[in-house]
Structure formats: structure tokens, C-alpha cells
């Protein structure tokens, strides 16, 4: 038998089958069913079905992240419905409006483990590959069906390998690598594919950077993304309280079959920007430097982790946000926010003129931080679709936290290396 | 012809990479009612497009239709607007799943998508695996059996309920 990719192994494990090849459809039994604010739709669907017995309530994880805290009675009602349901059914993994973004919260709490098969009511569920799990997004009907039956149909994907070698230049980050790849391969470049990241740069990445990678792989259409677990992964899992003897690491075989292999050279990369209104509309920062900004948003599951806030604070330290510009910082989780508070990161950001909001999706989900007609935001999130942050006649550009912070200082899109250079001089 | 799984009618066309925020903006996801959602389908593209959508039966699009979020309402809002099928050069995988799971026919056929213009007629027979438009017939590979069963019951939840009442184990 020839070697297997990560996706083949993970789906075989979840479906209890062997010898799977790409294209086959099997029933898989996920280890975890994540539903975010969409949980209320699952609950309503379940009520409609007249079912009150779940396959395995311990595999249900609900996080109130998208519209939190509630800004109107309707959303408050949805939250209340979820709370009551969790209480009634004994859902242990229920995280309320104070917790943060589902993906990040679940990983911090040790609910995502290598080799696991995880579905979520969110397209960026690919992020779980940062810890060597198979994560993929589905609709709320499928989560409801999984609550009841424990399973879902899944097609074994083909796999693509992305190899990134060499160190990145100062001022260039994981986000820039991903924007470059999305621009080169296109918004549908990896549709249906399982993506495995590898290479010397990837081996040296922090878990936070791996999250950025696996999160953004979705923007090329990927079904799931994966970085092989290593010592950095183990250290993260230790901190998340996952006992080592419970780990089931799955690694692809050296002779596995890939549809293609993409190479990217790390050292030659410059900061990248996605320009409106698609994520694959990517240019080097030079091409759009000087574009006037009304708002900068440092947030989202892609880039509001602790390391991202530190990077932004390092750039902003000793500077002031440009007059008239709104800088909104939304930490990805309560844990991250507490750590940033403890270590003075939030103070640095506030002193520079940033406004810190509660952890969660915030402006990325259109909850606060909206724009009026003709305005422009530079965001560290993963989507710049028309109208996602308010007016249909506003613009969203995407960048790394460093570029976002540098641009907040100048009030226009700015190469972060210019600000860093100022400090050195 | 004569197949019970033949649907179609008037076509409305869209370009490539039509994303879920354009199909149904996030601010309307507080609803799951197809009719309510339909009022806001394609709102970013303006009222003229929305009116044409409601007067159409088949959405025809280029590559990567429905890219972006996992919101199932991207399929539901089209059903609410009276759309019975989407024929595209390709789909984002979550949209494709959501279409099947809500009982909206989704057919991948670059040639058929290329052949149709706004206002044309298009008919899809998903038993036979054909798309007919402008006097031409384009074959597509039929759904695998699992998906056919879901479609035949009108979506995933009706399918589950049918399996329960047929003596399912739960
Ligand atoms: S932060 Fe943005 S992309 Fe991430 S889950 Fe929330 S709304 Fe989705």
C-alpha cells in the first residue's frame, strides 16, 4: 500500500474504515461539534424535529462569540435560548458571551487535540489544523444532525502540500505569507483540498502563527489545513491541560500522494495587503501605501491572539494613533485579554489611543466598529467582502497586525518596516 | 423528460467568486425564515438585481459560487426567493453542502454556466444528470447515492425525520 496523507488517516480514524482513497464518501463520527452564536438555529431545528436525545452531549461545544454581548433583544433571546438548552441538556462545554472567539477558546481549553476530527458552524474551523486536528466548516443543519446521529458524510479530499522555506524578513509575518499564497492561488485555488503546510519556516512557527495559517487556508477554499504536531504543539497542549498520554498524533506518510506541491520562498517576501472586495486581490504594501484610513481593526480569529497584540503594541509603543482615526483592538479571548492586561500590552495600546473592546468576533462579525458610506478600514481579519463592516459603500483592506499598527500611526496604509526603522534610528 | 426531478425556468446570471456576504449579509442571520431572508438576498448588489432574482428560477454563476462563510442561510435565502437550482462553474464546498442539506439543487457545469445569459430558460434534471439551455444539453455527473437520498427527501433534516419514521433506531 502506498503512503497516506493526513486527511486519509484522520478520516479513516473518524469513520473506522481503512484503505480510503480521495473521492470516496464515508460517514465520519466527529470528536467535537462546535457551534457558535448559530447554536440557537440548531436548537430550533432540534425542537422542530421533536428530538430530545443527543448522540453524545460531551461532544457538543457551544460558544457565544459572534454578537456578544447582545446589542438587542432578539440576540439576547438567542443567547438565553442557548444558555437554557446547555443547562437542560448538560452541555459541559458551554462558553458564554464573556469567553471570546470559539476557535481560540476551544483550543485554549484543551478541546482540540491532534488527530481529532472536528466540525464547526464556521468556515474557519480549518484553524484546528494548527494543533494537528482535522477541522472543517459545515452548516447548522449538519451540526444539528450530528448532535442527533453523531455522524456526517464526508468525501475524502485530495491533498496539496505547501512548502515554505527560509526565515521571513523583519516586519514580515505569517499573515503576509498567507495573503501572498491566497493572491497567487486564488480564492478557489484549493477548493475541496486538504492542505498540509511544511518546510523550514513552518517547522519554526509558533502555534499562534500556525493558527493564522490554518485559519486563512479557508480563504483558498480548503476543506481542512494541517501542520504536523511537534514540540511547540506539545507545549501548547500541556498549557491547555491535555494529558500527553491521551494524545493520538497523526502524521502523513513520507510517500503519501499529493495532487500538487507549492513552494514559497520566505526571505524574499514583503508585507502584503488584500484590497477590496476579495481576499485574493493581493498586492505588496508599496502598491497601496498612502491610502487614507478612517479605522484600523486589530481583531478576529486570524490575528488577535496574544502574540498579535504584542506585535501591535511593539509598533505602537511611544506613538499616537493619527488624529481622527479609530483604532479598535478586540482580543480573541478572555484568557488572551487577561494576559495582555497583566503584561502591560493593553496599557501600551490604550496610551497610543486604541480602544479595547470585549473579547469575541466584534467588528469582524459586524458587531460594533461599523463604517458609514465612503469609509475605509484596514483590518487584521480574514475577509474584506463588500458590506461586511457596515455600509455597502465602504472598503476593507486586510493586513498583518504590524502593518495595521504602523498604518494607525500614520493614518494611511504604511509599510511597518518604516516605523520600526524610525525607532532604531 | 417526465422525471420528477426536473426543475428550472428563467435564469439570472452572476460572475465569479460570489461570496456569502453578498448573497446574504451577516446582519440578517438573526433569522432562519426563508421568506424573511429572501428580502435581503443580494442586497449589496442593489434593488434592481434583487427584483430580477425574485423573477427568476435558476441562478447561474461562474467559479467558486458561495465562497466565504458557512452560513446555511446563503442557500435558504435563495429558496425563499423562489430559486430551485444553482448551476455554477464551481462551488465553494460549504455552500455545496448547505445547498444539498436545504434541498436546493446545486449543479457544477462550467459549460452550461457559460452557455446561459440573463433571462434564458434552463432546465435541470438531476436524475438524468442533464442541464438544458438554449437548445443544448449538458451532462453532469449525478450525485453520489448518499446525496441523492438527502435531495429526494428535500434536505438533510427532512431526510433524518423520514429515516426516524421509517423505523430508525432513535
Ligand atoms: S472572528 Fe470573524 S472570521 Fe473569526 S469566527 Fe468570528 S466572525 Fe468568523
CATH of the domain at A129: 3.30.499.10
Region A354-358: what's the mean pLDDT? 98
Supply the pLDDT for residue A421. Answer: 63
Q: What is the pLDDT of residue A418?
A: 95
**Whether B40 contacts chain A with CB within 8 A:** no
Note the pLDDT of residue B3: 55
Secondary structure (3-state) at B35? helix
Do residues A260 and A289 share a domain? no
pLDDT average, residue stretch A183-207: 97
> Is A182 found in the same domain as A215?
yes
Cβ–Cβ under 8 Å, residues A340 and A331: yes
Which of A207, A235, A264 lies at the terminal end of a domain, its last residue? Answer: A264
Q: Give the domain-ending residue among A264, A290, A319.
A: A264
Tell me, what's the pLDDT at B126? 85
At A294, list the grid cell.
478612517
Say yes or no: A123 and A244 in one domain.
Answer: yes
* In a domain? residue A234: yes
The residue segments making up the domain with residue A397 are 273-424
A82 is in an annotated binding site: no
Q: Are residues A232 and A331 in the same domain?
A: no
Mean pLDDT score across all residues of chain A: 96
Evaluate whether residue A160 is within a structural domain: yes
From B74's Cα to the closest Cα of chain A, the distance in A is 10
Q: Does B49 touch chain A (CB under 8 A)?
A: no
| Range list of β-strands (E), chain B | 6-13, 58-61, 85-88, 105-108, 121-125, 130-133, 136-139
Q: Low-confidence residues of chain B, pLDDT below 50?
A: 1-2, 169-170
Quote the pLDDT of residue B170: 45
The pLDDT value given to residue A196: 98
Task: Give the mean pLDDT of A1-21.
Answer: 95
**A217 vs A110: CA distance, rounded Å:** 22
Do A78 and A204 lie in a common domain?
Answer: yes
Contact between chains at B70 and A123 (C-beta distance less than 8 A): yes
- For ligand 1, the distance from its centroid to the CA atom of residue A240, given in whole angstroms, is 22
Residues of chain A in contact with residue B71, where contact means CB-CB under 8 angstroms, are 38, 139
Tell me how far CA of residue B14 lies from CA of A343, B18, B59, in angstroms.
50, 7, 8
Ligand 1 contacts CB of residue A122 (under 6 A): yes
Closest Cα in chain A, distance from residue B57 (Å) = 23
ipTM associated with this complex: 0.93
Distance A33 CA to ligand 1 centre (A): 17
Same domain, A242 and A283: no
Instruction: Give the Cα separation of A366 and A330 in Å (integer).
Output: 13
- Specify the number of domains making up chain A: 2
In terms of domains, do A256 and A302 share one? no
Cis check: omega of the bond before A277, within 30 degrees of 0: yes
Q: What is the dihedral of CA B157, B159, B164, B167, to 10 degrees?
A: 180
Is A228 contained in some domain? yes
Q: What mean pLDDT is predicted for residues A141-169?
A: 97
The reply to whether ligand 1 has any atom less than 6 angstroms from the CB of A398 is no
Within a domain: residue A364? yes
* A150 occurs within a structural domain: yes
pLDDT number for residue A276: 98
Q: Is the CB of residue A63 below 6 angstroms from any atom belonging to ligand 1?
A: no
Q: Is residue A1 domain-resident?
A: no
| Chain B residues with beta carbon closer than 8 angstroms to that of A149 | 160, 170
Which of B25, B64, B94 is the closest to A123 by Cβ?
A: B94
Are A138 and A242 members of one domain? yes
Q: Looking at the structure, tell me whether residues A300 and A201 fall in a common domain.
A: no
A404 touches ligand 1 (CB under 6 Å): no
- Please name the residues in contact with A159: beta carbons below 8 A apart, sequence gap of 6 or more: A5, A6, A7, A8, A22, A193, A194, A195, A196, A252, A256, A257, A258, A259
Binning pLDDT at 50, 70 and 90, where does residue A2 land? confident
* One domain, residues A142 and A239: yes
Q: What's the confidence (pLDDT) of residue A425?
A: 44
Averaged pLDDT, A363-379: 95
Give bridge partners of residue B6 from the DSSP assignment. Answer: B125
One domain for residues A219 and A330: no
Q: Which of A97, A301, A377, A380 best tests ligand 1's pocket when mutated (most atoms within 8 Å of CB)?
A: A301
The predicted-structure confidence for A60-94, as pLDDT tens digits, reads as follows 999 999 999 999 999 999 999 999 999 999 999 99
- Angle, in degrees to the nearest 10, between helices B156-165 and A39-49: 30
- Where is the domain boundary, A236, A264, A292? A264
What separation in Å is there between the alpha carbon of A123 and the centre of ligand 1? 9
Is A42 annotated in a binding site? The answer is: no
Residue A326 lies in a domain: yes
A44 and A118, same structural domain?
yes
A34 within a domain of the structure (yes/no): yes
Q: State the first-to-last Cα distance of chain B, in angstroms, to the nearest integer.
A: 38
Amino acid at each position: 500500500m502506498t503512503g497516506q496523507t493526513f486527511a486519509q488517516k484522520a478520516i479513516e480514524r473518524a469513520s473506522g474504515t481503512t484503505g480510503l482513497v480521495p473521492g470516496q464518501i464515508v460517514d465520519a463520527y466527529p470528536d467535537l461539534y462546535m457551534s457558535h452564536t448559530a447554536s440557537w438555529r440548531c436548537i430550533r431545528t432540534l425542537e422542530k424535529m421533536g428530538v430530545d436525545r443527543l448522540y453524545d452531549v460531551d461532544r457538543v461545544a457551544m460558544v457565544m462569540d459572534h454578537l456578544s454581548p447582545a446589542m438587542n433583544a432578539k440576540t439576547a433571546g438567542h443567547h438565553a435560548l442557548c444558555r437554557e438548552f446547555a443547562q437542560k441538556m448538560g452541555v459541559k462545554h458551554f462558553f458564554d458571551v464573556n469567553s471570546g472567539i470559539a476557535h481560540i477558546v476551544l483550543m485554549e481549553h484543551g478541546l482540540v487535540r491532534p488527530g481529532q476530527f472536528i466540525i464547526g458552524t464556521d468556515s474557519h474551523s480549518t484553524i484546528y489544523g494548527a494543533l494537528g486536528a482535522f477541522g472543517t466548516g459545515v452548516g447548522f443543519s449538519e451540526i444539528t444532525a450530528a448532535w442527533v446521529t453523531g455522524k456526517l458524510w464526508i468525501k475524502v479530499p485530495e491533498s496539496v502540500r505547501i512548502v515554505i522555506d527560509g526565515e521571513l524578513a523583519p516586519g514580515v509575518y505569517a499573515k503576509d505569507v498567507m495573503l501572498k499564497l491566497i493572491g497567487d492561488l486564488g480564492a478557489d485555488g484549493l477548493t475541496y483540498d486538504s492542505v498540509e503546510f511544511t518546510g523550514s519556516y513552518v517547522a519554526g512557527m509558533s502555534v499562534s502563527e500556525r493558527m493564522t495559517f490554518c485559519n486563512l487556508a479557508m480563504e483558498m477554499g480548503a476543506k481542512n489545513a494541517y501542520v504536523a504536531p511537534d514540540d511547540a504543539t506539545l507545549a501548547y497542549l500541556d498549557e491547555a491541560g491535555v494529558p500527553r498520554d491521551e494524545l493520538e498524533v497523526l502524521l502523513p506518510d513520507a510517500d503519501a500522494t499529493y495532487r500538487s506541491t507549492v513552494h514559497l520562498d520566505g526571505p524574499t517576501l514583503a508585507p502584503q495587503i488584500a484590497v477590496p472586495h476579495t481576499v485574493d486581490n493581493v498586492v505588496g504594501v508599496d502598491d497601496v501605501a498612502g491610502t487614507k484610513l478612517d479605522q484600523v481593526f486589530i481583531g478576529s480569529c486570524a490575528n488577535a491572539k496574544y502574540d498579535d497584540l504584542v506585535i501591535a503594541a511593539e509598533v505602537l509603543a511611544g506613538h499616537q494613533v493619527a488624529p481622527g482615526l479609530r483604532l479598535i483592538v478586540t482580543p480573541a479571548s478572555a484568557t488572551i485579554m487577561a494576559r495582555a492586561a497583566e503584561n502591560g500590552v493593553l496599557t501600551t495600546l490604550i496610551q497610543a489611543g486604541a480602544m479595547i473592546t470585549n473579547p469575541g468576533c466584534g467588528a469582524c462579525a459586524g458587531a460594533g466598529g461599523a463604517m458609514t458610506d465612503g469609509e475605509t478600514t484596514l483590518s487584521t481579519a480574514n475577509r474584506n467582502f463588500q458590506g461586511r463592516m457596515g455600509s455597502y459603500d465602504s472598503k476593507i483592506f486586510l493586513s498583518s497586525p504590524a502593518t495595521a499598527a504602523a498604518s494607525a500611526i500614520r493614518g494611511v496604509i504604511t509599510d511597518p518596516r518604516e516605523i520600526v526603522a524610525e525607532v532604531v534610528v | 423528460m417526465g422525471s420528477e426531478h426536473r426543475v428550472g425556468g428563467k435564469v439570472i446570471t452572476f460572475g465569479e467568486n460570489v461570496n456569502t456576504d453578498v448573497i446574504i449579509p451577516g446582519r440578517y442571520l438573526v433569522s432562519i425564515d426563508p421568506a424573511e431572508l429572501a428580502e435581503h438576498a443580494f442586497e449589496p448588489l442593489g434593488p434592481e438585481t434583487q427584483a430580477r432574482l425574485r423573477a427568476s428560477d435558476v441562478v447561474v454563476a461562474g467559479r467558486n459560487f458561495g465562497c466565504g462563510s458557512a452560513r446555511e442561510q446563503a442557500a435558504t435565502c435563495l429558496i425563499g426567493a423562489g430559486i430551485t437550482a444553482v448551476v455554477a462553474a464551481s462551488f465553494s464546498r460549504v455552500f455545496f453542502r448547505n445547498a444539498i442539506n436545504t434541498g436546493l439543487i446545486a449543479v457544477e457545469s462550467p459549460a452550461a454556466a457559460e452557455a446561459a445569459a440573463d433571462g434564458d430558460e434552463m432546465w435541470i434534471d438531476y436524475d438524468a444528470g442533464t442541464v438544458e439551455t438554449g437548445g443544448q444539453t449538458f451532462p453532469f455527473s449525478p450525485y453520489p447515492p448518499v446525496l441523492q437520498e438527502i435531495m429526494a427527501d428535500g434536505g438533510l433534516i427532512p431526510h433524518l425525520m423520514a429515516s426516524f419514521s421509517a423505523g430508525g433506531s432513535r
